[in-house]
Amino acid sequence: MEAKQRGNQQIDLQHGESHSHSPTYQAVLRAGPRVRPLQQAHAQIVVLGKHCNLALLTKLLTLACAAGSITYTRRLFLTVSKPDSFLFNSLIKGSSKFGFPYDAVWFYNRMLLADISPSNYTFTSVIKACADLSALRLGRSIHSHVLICGYGSDSYVQAALVAFYAKSSELSVARRLFDRIPEKTIVAWNSMISGYDQNGFSREAIGLFYQMRELGVEPDSSTFVSVLSACAQLGAIGLGCRVHDYVVSNGFDVNVVLGTSLINMYCRCGNVIKARNVFDLMSERNVIAWTAMISGYGIHGYGREAMELFGQMQTRGPRPNNITFVAVLSACAHAGLIQEGRRAFADMKQEYGLVPGVEHHVCMVDMLGRAGLLNEAYQFVKELNPGELTPAVWTAMLGACKMHKKFDLGVQVAEHLLAVEPENPGHYVMLSNIYALAGKMDRVELVRNMMIRRGLKKQVGYSTVEVDQKTYLFSMGDKSHPETDEIYRYLDDLMLRCREAGYVPASESVMHEVEEEEREYALRYHSEKLAIAFGLLKTSLGMVITVVKNLRMCEDCHSAIKYISVVCNREIVVRDKLRFHHFNNGSCSCLDYW
DNA sequence: CTAGGGTTAG
């Protein structure tokens, strides 16, 4: 064995190739993360009989992985006779870093089979792979390997574990682990904050951020990204602006990720102008940044601006991808840009070779349906492959039927949906609304009863409004607020003034409320009306009121708010589940098209 | 002989 090693070394020395400056090693480095040049370098290695040089092979394999060819990497790996821990660690890290989590796990298993002990470095990478796979069971067992091998207090491993449990929706486990870390690194904090954010617990994410600040821990750009995302979800522009100020005044570099996060926050908090400012100032803009900005215009109904930016992207920006086209098509749908939408859908397939998915189909049906082109929308649906006829597509078709009062087709579609997704309360609500519009009140009652019998409840609607950087939450008929009496009195008075100005409340028949109590409160006290009343009470003239609602707005509220904007002479902005409505002087930016 | 980890955007 010793003799053999020495022998190899002698050969290497002969060729002068035993260290990193050898021509072969240089050839591998020059090849970089590109498959073809790597194959050539590999050929050279084989020809020179250097296929036993592990250092060389490790570099080659790492680059093959970085080149994105996991098949080539694996093929090369099988030619290595005695892989060592260094090679395994490099491979596991590379596969998990470059998006091959399955392979990372596979290499990890090979490592164990080869009886090579994993190190803390091994664990960080393989745990990340488990996180990417949301592979809870596997991750748990690797967690126990960690403890057995004595790496339970390695700070890198701990942060990776926190992120892993959070990504596997085990937030309480993640939190318990996090709490037990005596010296929390900034990455541990970030893992927990982003864990909350990614699971929709925006308030918890922000709460933990405040806790971290109180302990004097300095945030970094990754912290900001998660906090801004939480602000975006909540519509918390106050905190969002403060984070932005902090970033700028402390000289943080607004990199492409942070910039995109800011764009998203400003767009979803209602300030597209500031979002565009950030976009224009960014030194690097990738496809995600462009898509975020286009999508931002889209949700505000600024279809022209969205298409203008998309045009620029096509001529001098990064190549649009599937998600870009979701943003483009939905912008077209919200703004009624039918020609542009049809064109984009065709370009997506023909010019860019992209395959439309469910979301694109939904956008198309939605776009055509809203515009009243019901036949074309229906034709579009019928031309889809059976596998593409998802409930989401039918739901879009149903929305169009309801909007344009296509009774027969609407009932047909709704009944189909009820059969496929009997547990989705939204379908019942739609069907009952369609019956109500057709004046078939007995049917309305029937659907309502069916819903009750199946124990289904309409999703609870709530709205939030920010006053003095604090957000207040209201739900329908809510009386939990300490100033409830004042708010209700003010709202009643306000609606009276709206009626005098010509507002006609929607008839009760079009409202679908399951509980008796809800019916009583429904019209007058929908959550957005309460939130707006509170906002008007607490802010001075000239201040814009911004409300965030978790569901779509009903037509009655939409009409009422138009009147409120007149009688109070206020600009009111409402973000509903899908888009923004800017109410001013009695009209809405969506032009009643939403 | 060879590097070095975990967190972050649409």
The pLDDT of A210-230, averaged and rounded, is: 96
Residue whose CA lies closest to nucleotide B3 C1'? A90
Q: Stated in angstroms, how far is A202 CA from B5 C1'?
A: 28
Q: Is the pLDDT at A451 greater than 70, yes or no?
A: yes
A539 touches strand B (CB under 7 A): no
Which one-letter DSSP state was computed for residue A468? T
Q: Which of residues 375-414 of A touch strand B (CB under 7 A)?
A: none
User: If residue A272 lies in a helix (H) or strand (E), which one and from where to where?
Assistant: helix A272-281
A187 touches strand B (CB under 7 A): yes
A291 touches strand B (CB under 7 A): yes
Q: Is the pLDDT at A406 greater than 50, yes or no?
A: yes
- The answer for residues whose C-beta is within 8 angstroms of residue A249's C-beta and 6 or more apart is none
User: If residue A572 lies in a helix (H) or strand (E), which one and from where to where?
Assistant: strand A572-575
Q: Stated in angstroms, how far is A46 CA from B4 C1'?
A: 28
The pLDDT of A430-443, averaged and rounded, is: 86
Q: Is the pLDDT at A190 greater than 60, yes or no?
A: yes
Q: Which of residues 188-207 of A touch strand B (CB under 7 A)?
A: 188, 190-191, 194, 198
Contact A344, A332 (CB under 8 A): yes
Q: Is the pLDDT at A434 greater than 70, yes or no?
A: yes
The pLDDT of A381-406, averaged and rounded, is: 93
Check residue A50 and give its pLDDT: 84
Check residue A457 and give its pLDDT: 85
A207 or A478: whose pLDDT is higher? A207
Check residue A458 and give its pLDDT: 83
List, edge to edge, every strand of the sheet that includes A462-467: A470-475, A462-467, A545-549, A572-575, A580-584, A587-588
Q: Is the pLDDT at A515 greater than 80, yes or no?
A: no
The pLDDT of A505-525, averaged and rounded, is: 58
Q: pLDDT tens across A57-98, in order?
A: 999 999 999 999 999 999 999 999 899 999 999 999 999 999
Q: Is the pLDDT at A433 greater than 80, yes or no?
A: yes
Which nucleotide is nearest, taking the CA of residue A292 and each C1'?
B10
Q: Stated in angstroms, how far is A505 CA from B2 C1'?
A: 75
The pLDDT of A399-427, averaged and rounded, is: 91
- The answer for residues whose C-beta is within 8 angstroms of residue A509's C-beta and 6 or more apart is A436, A439, A441, A444
Q: Stated in angstroms, how far is A463 CA from B5 C1'?
A: 43
The pLDDT of A287-300, averaged and rounded, is: 97
Q: Which of residues 225-264 of A touch strand B (CB under 7 A)?
A: 225-226, 229, 232, 256-258, 260-261, 264
Q: Is the pLDDT at A260 greater than 60, yes or no?
A: yes
Q: pLDDT tens across A154-182, in order?
A: 999 999 999 999 999 999 999 999 999 99
Among the ranges given (A283-297, A397-411, A506-520), the one the predictor scored with the smallest mean pLDDT: A506-520
Query: If we measure between CA atoms, which residue out of A186, A188, A179 comes closest to residue A157?
Result: A188
Q: pLDDT tens across A567-594, in order?
A: 999 999 999 999 999 999 999 988 787 7
Across chain A, what does the average pLDDT equal? 91
If DSSP codes are grouped into helix, strand and coil, which group holds residue A459?
coil
Q: Is the pLDDT at A509 greater than 70, yes or no?
A: no
Contact A258, A221 (CB under 8 A): yes
| Tokens linked to A133 | 């796979």
The pLDDT of A351-378, averaged and rounded, is: 95
Beta bridge partners of A584: A587
Strand B positions within 7 A of protein Cβ atoms: 1-10
Check residue A422 and give its pLDDT: 92
